[in-house]
């Protein structure tokens, strides 16, 4: 097992439907991080790295494609039923645990965690952890974790458009837009919806 430092970030905390996803990224083994970052910015057509939510869909997809074979990364998912059962904080912790497990299957053990502020994980007592306010805008590992998690989750939700074509999942990816609420009121909840977050009027 190789020990690595990872950055983690979550995506989907505030969505009405779909999974909560935690991305974990390590840049250990990248010889020139700044050069890679400059290459990525050139690919995206941007002047600075930013949290995934502040990038366009096209920029995120380009970043994902550029990064996926250049970095160590993993994803942890928690489905809507688990979110309803556990609550958000525990769901984030479980998703992080699953990302750790995925890294372990790749042959890595986590020696340090860089986390966006507010994220909890189940190994905080045993793995040194730094929590950074706006870490997704300051720490490259966290920025990349945010991008990988966001693209991963968006793709999951876009695929659900085929299963549930009347809800607009390809557009809002599970978040609470006017059109999404209107679809819920008209057609009811799907198995993708979090009952903890949205309930139909009796």
DSSP string, 95-155: HHHHHHHHHHHTTEEEEEEEEETT---TTTTTS-EEEETTHHHH-HHHHHHHHHHHHHHHH
| Tens-digit pLDDT profile for residues 109-134 | 999 999 988 888 899 999 999 999 98
Distances from the Cα of 133 to the Cα of 99, 138, 198, angstroms: 21, 9, 29
3-state secondary structure of 2: strand
Chain mean position to CA 52:
9
φ, ψ (nearest 5 deg) of residue 44: -80, -20
Q: Please give the model's pTM, rounded to 2 decimal places.
A: 0.93
pLDDT recorded at residue 196: 83
Residue 103: name the closest of 51, 18, 156, 28 by CA: 28
- 123 by Cβ neighbours in 10 Å (0-12 / 13-18 / 19+) ranks as middle
Name 31's Cβ contacts closer than 8 Å, sequence gap at least 6. Answer: none
Domain range 2-159, its CATH number among 3.40.50.920, 3.40.50.740, 3.40.50.300, 3.30.420.10: 3.30.420.10
Flag residues of the chain having pLDDT under 50: 201-202
pLDDT recorded at residue 119: 87
pLDDT recorded at residue 97: 96
Question: Domain extents for the chain?
Answer: 2-159
Query: Pairing between strand 2-11 and 20-26?
Result: antiparallel
DSSP annotation of 54 = G
φ, ψ (nearest 5 deg) of residue 19: -75, 160
pLDDT recorded at residue 199: 64
pLDDT recorded at residue 49: 76
pLDDT recorded at residue 201: 43
């Amino acid at each position: 097992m190789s020990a690595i430092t990872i950055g983690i970030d979550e995506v989907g905390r505030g969505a009405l439907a779909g999974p909560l996803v935690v991305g974990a990224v390590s840049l250990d083994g990248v010889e020139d991080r700044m050069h890679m970052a400059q290459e990525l910015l050139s690919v995206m057509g941007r002047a600075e790295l930013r949290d995934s939510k502040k990038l366009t869909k096209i920029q995120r997809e380009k970043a994902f494609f550029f990064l996926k074979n250049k970095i160590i990364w993993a994803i942890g998912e928690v489905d809507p039923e688990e979110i309803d059962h556990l609550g958000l904080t525990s769901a984030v912790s479980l998703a992080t645990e699953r990302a750790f497990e995925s890294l372990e299957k790749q042959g890595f053990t986590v020696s340090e965690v860089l986390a966006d502020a507010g994220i909890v994980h189940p190994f905080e007592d045993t793995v040194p952890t730094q929590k950074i306010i706006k870490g997704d805008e300051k720490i490259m590992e966290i920025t990349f974790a945010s991008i990988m998690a966001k693209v991963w989750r968006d793709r999951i939700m876009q695929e659900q458009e085929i299963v549930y074509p009347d809800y607009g999942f390809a557009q809002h990816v599970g978040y609470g837009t006017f059109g999404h609420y209107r679809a819920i009121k008209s057609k009811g909840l799907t198995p993708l919806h979090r009952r903890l977050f949205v309930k139909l009027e009796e």
